[in-house]
Chains A and B, each alone.
Chain A
Amino acid sequence: MKMRDGSFIEMLELFRTLISADNKFIKEWKRRNKPVLGYACSYTPEEIIYAAGILPIRVLGGLEPPKLADIYLPVNVCSFAKSCLNKALKEEYNVLDGYAVSNSCDNQNKIYDLWRHCTTIHKTYFINTPHSVTEKTLEFFCEEFERFRQWLTDSFEAKISEEDLKVAIEIFNENRRLLKQVYELRRRDPPLVSGSDALEIVLSSMMIPKDEHNELLHALLGEVENREDLIKGGVRLLVSGSVMDASELLRLIEGVGGCVVADDLCSGSRYFWNLVKENGEPVRAIAERYLHKVPCPFMYSSEERFNHVKEMVKFFDVEGVLIFSLKSCDVHSFDAPLLAEELRGKEGLPVLCLEWEHSLSGIAQLRTRIEAFVEMLGE
């Protein structure tokens, strides 16, 4: 095996270090006295925040046990949302000047009450995201976004012109196109970028200004063509689930002979797969994009997400699917057996359903099951 190409590896390493609320870009942003807004869900219209001169960053959790959040929350609660709250309680999100939530699931909505009551973050906002796609829900969503825009304007003394919005849309769309190019590198066999690297690249895009991220992606994509070797092939897998805010689980899969070539994660493909229309009235175009994007399972139509998974399976030449349900995530847990049945029955694909804890407790058991699945497929 040849040596890894130095600068490419360095770039991957850089992306990894950016997945943190105290990365150098955020520090630089704050140094210029500009506000940072944390958001909880991939349905938050980042373009509007960015157009206001505010840096939107995704609130992520950590792997440590959520001791402080455990004081307020019982065990039967989404461990990701709990972990995020824990970080806020530990004041690891002091960088945030505000926090925005979308109406997406009970865990998120109800834990938002605790953000308001128990943390030091006082500027908070809730966007009433519809759960279905019709003309009326689109109108309502547009109105919600206009209100959000007004709130940003009032709370942060910001100005958001139509032109600002258009520029933001272009920058965000470029980021989405570039991320898609990164994903396409995984169509090859063996892929040019591993699943864990790709996840880290997407996660990092949520944590720094998108224009800066675009530059990094251009550089990465420029380097990648010089990369000739390195990734071990293996059984080509798709990983489906909610949010993964760290690559440990994917590394585990890759460590036992799996090759994660595609995903259906809200912190993966579902985050960037769809573009905003660049002609037309900006807020409306943004609302259309978020309403029509590959849906998370809190939305009315599960079929559309299932279709997305099936398209990914074909596009990335997938041999098996791992469905991860975060414990106490109702919306994914209800979908898991349906998606499994759909893939097994209609597509004839091997599927493994797994429940997991965000803190990765019980990981040994997960490893055993994944290893057995990968071995079975490898035969």
Chain B
Amino acid sequence: MSERRLETLKGFYHNYVKSFYEMAHKAREEGKLVAWVASTFPVEILLAMDIIPVWPENYASLCAARRVSVPLCELAERKGFSKDICSYARCVLGSLFDEENLPEGGIPRPDVLVASTCACDTHLKWFQVASRFFKKPLLLLDVPYNIESTNPENLEDHYIQHYVYQLEDLVSLLEKHSGIKLDEGKLRKTLELSDRAGELWLRVQDYRKNVPAPMGAREAFSAVYFILCIPGTEQAVKFYEVLCGELEQRVKHGVGVAENETYRLVWDNLPLWFNLKIFQYLRGLGAVVVAETFSHVWAGSLDPSKPYESLARKYLSNMSNCSIERRIELIAGLVRNFRANGVILPTNWGCRMMTIGETIVKRRIQEMTGVSSLILDVDSTDWRNYDEYRVKTKLETYLRTLK
């Protein structure tokens, strides 16, 4: 079935992702500072300091989409890294040992690495390995786990205060290593842009509540790039403004992303980066992904007058830093608000954080919304155990059970 591509997303990879890597490589050559950054780190700080943030996670997904991630994972495994660790990490660590065959010339070498404890153990461990490899410092934003799944407004002062202290310490270390002073005015401006981009990104999601949905997962997993990687930029705001405009038109004319929309699905966790065509296959069966948890966890409101505190609220309440209640609430909310009648819960082999508890999520979602979920045992980046036939059969059988 033909895909009704959004104009705004045409040439996305070439126009935005590829050009970002080109810019970053060039900037590095010209002596600008490059930081490796892991998700849930408040990247706004780097943007405000004119340090180029490059995302190994993004690079791994890119390698998977280009179908080169597995050879890179194998390289890491030959260096002694277990096959059971995160495939993003294996892919990127493998890329350190391959100088030649890397898409976009590889990830620019870092001057510094930054990570936060908000997402997973892997970020810290993976970046420790890279930090030793490059002999560059790793700065860790060591902050509390949100065990009560408290939302941003109700987080305890004890947690907020600690986050703020940690961020202050980290910024002074970053200033020391980079020789760049964080300008408060610039930080406020970056937060304003990030807040605005977040608002627009959530508006993009809101359009998808319409029946038929004007945008699917394939587009969302591309367009999330700005809010994830470079949220506090004019480019992000501008892109989402244009996207909102196009979606507005589609909704007005009742144009859906699929010609026939029988099933509306919520997609949890990551996509199969090496096989994004699965979404096209689903559309062919009349199933449109109308919401991804991934699209709903990166935007968060920021108050430029209280920069550190609002970053603390945003990131401490990120789903990956919370106990399972937050994930359950989020998915149940998406099912209700997006009028979904199915939920796909893909696992990710090397990801404990998202894999553990899926059975509880499935049970609770059923209890709360009456909608059943399908747990899909896959990996986002490493296709060696992927069985296309099995996955398709599972999806098809599951869809038939949906009302």
Contacts and interface: CB of A to CB of B under 8 A. Distances in A.
Interface of A: 71-74, 76-78, 103, 105-107, 109-114, 116-118, 126, 128, 130-132, 134, 136-137, 140, 143, 147, 297-298, 300, 302, 325, 327-328, 330-331, 333-338, 340, 353, 355
B363 to A, nearest CB: 9
A112 B323 contact: yes
A110 B85 contact: no
A335 B125 contact: yes
A111 B356 contact: yes
A355 B353 CA distance: 21
A74 B324 CA distance: 16
A328 B323 contact: no
A128 B360 contact: no
Contact of A106 (B81, B147, B356, B377): B356
7 contacts: A74-B377, A109-B145, A110-B353, A128-B145, A136-B169, A140-B158, A298-B121
Interface stretch (B126-134, B210-218, B389-397): B126-134
B360 A114 contact: yes
Contacts of A126: 145, 147
B126 A114 contact: no
A111 B356 CA distance: 7
A103 B124 CA distance: 14
Interface of B: 79-82, 84-86, 89, 117, 120-122, 124-126, 128-129, 132, 140, 142, 144-145, 147, 158, 162, 165-166, 169, 323-324, 347, 349-350, 352-353, 355-360, 377
Contact of B80 (A140, A298, A340): A340
Contacts of A105: 121, 352
Contacts of A78: 352
A353 B80 contact: yes
B357 A113 contact: yes
Contact of B158 (A72, A107, A136, A143): A143
A134 B169 contact: yes
Nearest to A130: B142
B97 to A, nearest CB: 12
Contacts of A330: 85-86, 120-122, 125, 350, 352
Nearest to B82: A333
Given A113-B357, A300-B140, A330-B85, A338 B129 contact: yes
Contacts of A76: 84, 347, 349-350, 352, 355
Most buried by B among A72, A140, A328: A140
Contacts of A335: 125
Most buried by A among B89, B125, B126, B349: B125
Most buried by A among B126, B162, B165, B350: B162
A334 B128 contact: yes
A331 B357 contact: no
Nearest to B128: A302
A328 B158 contact: no
A112 to B, nearest CB: 7
B317 to A, nearest CB: 15
B85 A333 contact: yes
B129 A136 contact: no
Given A77-B352, A136-B169, A297-B125, A333 B84 contact: yes
A77 B347 CA distance: 12
Contact of B142 (A73, A300, A328, A337): A300
B355 A74 contact: yes
Contact of A110 (B117, B132, B169, B357): B357
A335 B124 CA distance: 11
Contact of B120 (A73, A106, A128, A136): A106
Given A76-B347, A110-B357, A298 B352 contact: no
Nearest to B357: A113
Nearest to A112: B323
Most buried by A among B86, B89, B166: B166
Contacts of A71: 359
Query: Which 3 A-B pairs rank lowest in CB-CB distance, beginning with the nearest?
Result: A337-B80, A334-B125, A110-B356
Contact of B82 (A72, A109, A298, A355): A355
A333 B144 CA distance: 23
A72 B360 contact: yes
Contacts of A109: 145, 323
Most buried by A among B89, B120, B147, B324: B147
B390 to A, nearest CB: 16
Nearest to A340: B80
Contacts of A337: 79-81
Given A76-B84, A327-B82, A328-B84, 8 more contacts: A77-B356, A107-B356, A113-B324, A114-B357, A117-B324, A143-B158, A330-B122, A335-B125
B149 to A, nearest CB: 10
A77 B357 CA distance: 11
Contacts of B128: 302, 334, 338
A334 B349 CA distance: 16
B120 A113 contact: no
Contacts of B81: 333-334, 337
B82 A128 contact: no
Contacts of B323: 109, 112-113, 116
Nearest to B354: A110
B302 to A, nearest CB: 23
Contact of B147 (A74, A128, A140, A300): A128
Nearest to A299: B124
A109 B82 CA distance: 21
B132 A338 contact: yes
B84 A72 contact: no
A234 to B, nearest CB: 26
A301 to B, nearest CB: 9
Contacts of B360: 72, 113-114, 117-118
Contacts of B357: 110, 113-114
A353 B117 CA distance: 27
Nearest to B145: A103
A327 B84 contact: yes
A328 to B, nearest CB: 5
A192 B95 CA distance: 49
Contacts of A72: 359-360
Nearest to A110: B356
B117 A131 contact: yes
B129 A74 contact: no
Contacts of B353: 106, 110
